[in-house]
Structure 1
């Protein structure tokens, strides 16, 4: 009957909004850490992006299993698609941290 209205109301419910912010922070920190690992390991080209994809899959699985309890549509408007979507900001964050750590660790000496 009114299940779509109830689902829409749950997305605006304050505890769910706070949970969405926590999920965004977890994804951001995960991609920062993955970028640091890629830079420290000295990964270049496609190997670095393979690590990025692996971090997307692992972070999404952990959030799906633990935080969303197998029901991502309760916490995210797009459901599973939104959970796996890394977002433009997170891609740029990964690349920034990756190049920063790569330059610090593996930079050429003058």
Structure 2
């Protein structure tokens, strides 16, 4: 007989854990590219954050339709709310890359 802990451990499938880790990588790269685009375009204030919001929603839509096949609760523990959540690290990454590219491109404006 198996205990409850062993039964819960059997539910964790390494391939699924690796796939979910790649989803966070996709969201991270999306915030990096959005930050670079906002910096190169010279967006300031709320326009830059609007681009980040649009990028997050577009990435969520792509993951929802392509990877999760329309049922994110089946693949991700938090479901759609976990997909839409940008994450604190991704917001900070966006701001860092945004200011970096803004400073590089628009240094003498």
TM-score band w.r.t. shorter chain:
0.7 to 0.9
> 1:22-76: CA deviations, max 9, x gaps?
1011100011000000000000000000000000110000000001111111221
Q: TM-score, normalising length from structure 2?
A: 0.88
Which 4+ stretches in 1 moved above 4 angstroms? none
Q: Which runs of 5+ in 1 are unaligned?
A: none
What pairs up with 1:2-21 in 2 under 5 angstroms? 9=11, 12-21=12-21
* Residue 60 (str. 1) matches residue 60 (str. 2): yes
What pairs up with 1:1-110 in 2 under 5 angstroms? 9=11, 12-108=12-108
In structure 1, what is the equivalent of residue 4 of structure 2? none
Q: Which runs of 5+ in 2 are unaligned?
A: 1-6
Counterpart secondary structure, 2:44: coil
> 1:48-107: CA deviations, max 9, x gaps?
000000001100000000011111112211000000000000000000000000000001
**Aligned positions, number:** 102
Q: TM-score, normalising length from structure 1?
A: 0.87
Q: Check whether the contact 1:72–1:80 (CA below 8 A) recurs between aligned residues.
A: yes
> 1:1-36: CA deviations, max 9, x gaps?
xxxx89x92xx2111101101101110001100000
Instruction: Look at both structures and tell me which one has the larger radius of gyration over its CA atoms.
Output: 2
